[in-house]
Amino acid sequence: MTVTLPSTGQVWDWLSEVPDPEIPVVSVTDLGIVRDVRWDGDTLAVAVTPTYSGCPATAVIDLAIETHLRAKGVEKVRLERRLSPPWTTDWVTAEAREKLKSYGIAPPIDGTAPDGRGGLAARLSGRANLVIECPRCGSGNTAKVSQFGSTPCKASYQCRDCLEPFDYFKCH
Amino acid sequence: MPSLPDAEMPDALALAERAAAEQVHDPHVADVDLKPAFFDWLCRIGDNALILGHRVSEWCGHAPVLEEDIALANVALDLIGQTQMWLSLAAEVEDKGRTADDLAYLRDAMKFRNIKLVELPNGDMGVTVMRQFLFDAYHFELLTALARSESPRVAEIAAKALKEVAYHLERSSDLVIRLGDGTAESHARMQAALDALWPYAGEVFVADAVDEAVARAGIAPALPDLLPKWERTVAEVLDEATLTRPDRRFDVHVGGKQGRHTEHLGYILAEMQFLQRAYPGAEW
Ligand SMILES: [Zn+2]
């Protein structure tokens, strides 16, 4: 008896149904952390890249992917860790950015990741003050509370107009 | 919220091993002549991240304000995650069947290769912030150089870690400036922290045979090349922070890289390694 293996396109569709454990409105493919899907004989190999090297969600994401694919009938799944090229917020899809915003998280502003000495110079001269729009009222009159927020990928901000505290998905 | 499915947790170690097996070929990893120095050097990088990460994690639940508590925990988490990558590669290079966990939990103090700066007690926030800044300024330059390493395995870890450390350096330099150029009290504490830590700050730049061997192999930069960049960052930030660079040597307390540590490391290991020592192989 021969078993027809699902196409990798089908697998990508299934993966787009797997939510990120910490921000469930976006999927693992929305975030751009699935790097490769391929068949190795009758084993499905899925390469995932970590967002942050110490991100505690990594193991949970692997588990969620494996569980979902098994539920779809894939019997042999192998998860691989892929480090390079390193994940950046550039991989976050446009659709995901809209979803983040409506969920109350300000999406990342591309090209604003710190770059060490250059970032230092920018900050000392005041050029590093980003305008992060409040996801609730849209005001640009917001202030950074902390560069480090509830999870490694987010910073804490507050709106000075509507007073809403919110997360900013920081550029990485 | 749906309950977690009844499935086995993915085996992180097996995942890492399989990923490693599929990596691009890196001739340095299997170079027998290079092995002792490469292993030792990877332990230095990994142990700096591990011990500083552990120290910083001690603030969790104790920091003076909530935002700092969260930031410190995030920095610690990044460093522990980086440790996992460095020590995994170290174990692979050593090729004696040990894992990153074995290296972290089952080595004695004399086998640790971190610099003394990172094992010093947290002290007050002034000491914690200043230690972080002096280390971050070095860590950033090191990783920037390592991201261009001729060893692809080293380069990919460095590129990943660099993105995190850029945030660490931004935060710690920001805090040094705010606290140094703050109240009389915060200024005095930051200057006292700088004076106390300064003789430890230079150990990372003192090269020995191990550093020279990995530099010759194209894996790592020559340490003297990093120093001017570190000095520039430090000078810029201290100046902005109205703090005075101590007029004394910064490479007084050395030896950590060769396994000669302060008494403080033993206490860290006693806490960090207790579980694996008392219950070998325990998992959760
Ligand atoms: Zn608002």
Residue A68 lies in a domain: yes
CA–CA separation, B276 and B105 (whole Å): 6
A160 and A105 co-located in one domain: yes
Q: What is the pTM (predicted TM-score) of this model?
A: 0.87
The predicted-structure confidence for B4-14, as pLDDT tens digits, reads as follows 333 344 444 45
Contact state of B159 with A62 under an 8 Å Cβ cutoff: no
The mean predicted confidence, pLDDT, of chain B is: 92
ipTM of the complex: 0.80
pLDDT along chain A (172 residues), means of 10: 82 95 92 92 93 83 95 94 86 91 90 61 53 90 86 89 92 78
> Which of B16-30, B210-224, B229-243 is the least confident region?
B16-30
To the nearest whole Å, the CA of B62 is away from the closest chain A CA by 16
User: How many helices (H) does chain A have, and how many strands (E)?
Assistant: 4, 7
> Quick check: B21 contacting A, CB < 8 Å?
no
Residue A55 lies in a domain: yes
Residue A93 lies in a domain: no
Q: For B81, which of A53, A115, A156 is closest by C-beta distance?
A: A53
A125 and A69 co-located in one domain: no
A65 and A128 co-located in one domain: no
Which residues form the domain of A53? 8-81
Q: Which amino acid is at A49?
A: T
The structure tokens 């196409």 sit at A7
Strand partners, A40: A43
| Cis preceding linkage at A85, omega within 30 | yes
Residue A70 lies in a domain: yes
Average pLDDT over residues B48-77: 94
CA–CA separation, B160 and B77 (whole Å): 14
CATH number at residue A47: 3.30.300.130
Alpha carbons within 13 A on the beta-carbon side of B252? 11
| pLDDT tier at B20, thresholds 50, 70, 90 | low
Phi, psi of A24 (to 5 degrees): -65, -10
Contact state of B173 with A114 under an 8 Å Cβ cutoff: no
Tell me the fold of B29-278: Ferritin (1.20.1260)
A163 CA → ligand 1 middle, Å: 6
In order, the DSSP letters of A124-150 are HTTTT------TTT--S-EEEEESS-S
CA–CA separation, A11 and A24 (whole Å): 19
Strand partners, A77: A44
Measured CA distances, A47 to A65, B18, B19, B173 (Å)? 11, 11, 9, 36
Closest residue of chain B to A146, computed from CA coordinates? B67
Average pLDDT over residues B190-215: 98
The predicted-structure confidence for A131-165, as pLDDT tens digits, reads as follows 889 999 999 999 988 888 888 888 889 999 999 99
Strands (E), B122-236: none
B interface mutation test: which of A22, A52, A72, A170 has the most B CBs within 10 A?
A52
A134 CA → ligand 1 middle, Å: 5
The mean predicted confidence, pLDDT, of chain A is: 86
A142 CA → ligand 1 middle, Å: 8
Which chain A residues are closer than 8 Å to B4 by Cβ? 63
Q: For A66, which of B10, B81, B240 is closest by C-beta distance?
A: B10
